[in-house]
Amino acid sequence: MANKSTTFSKFDRNRYRKIYPITRYPESASFRSKSEVIIESLSVSFSDSTSKSGTLAGIYKSIPTISLGVSSQDATGEQSNVNIFISSLTLSGDSKVSFTIKASAPFTGEVALQVLSLS
């Protein structure tokens, strides 16, 4: 799979139109990209289980880049020793992405998904 990249340029929305008021408005910065960027965040709760499935809300042309973060503590309040991984990703006919997340051992906690897609 080839790496995709895009560049963002800073854009001041208050200086876009040539209006010269008596008082100058503060900068209202935004960023523009040369390609479409889809960013999505999702939290999945595990409750003494090893597998969870779900569907992303965005419309995708191809499988996006997904990263996982784990927040879990066991009954004593210490961090759980568990590995989280994506076992399957599928792109359906209606451009929705379905995923299955698995854990190396049963645990209770939150898994945060961050999704980034450039098209």
What predicted TM-score, i.e. pTM, was given to this entire model? 0.72
Domains of the chain, start order = 35-118 (2.60.40)
**What distance in Å separates the CA atoms of residue 16 and residue 1, rounded to the nearest whole number?**
38
18-76 pLDDT per residue, tens: 666 677 677 788 888 888 888 999 999 988 899 999 999 988 888 999 999 887 666 66
Provide the pLDDT confidence category of residue 102 given band limits of 50, 70 and 90. very high
Q: Residue 39: name the closest of 56, 52, 21, 62 by CA.
A: 56
Could you tell me if 103 and 60 are in contact, meaning their C-beta atoms sit under 8 angstroms apart? no
pLDDT of residue 40: 92
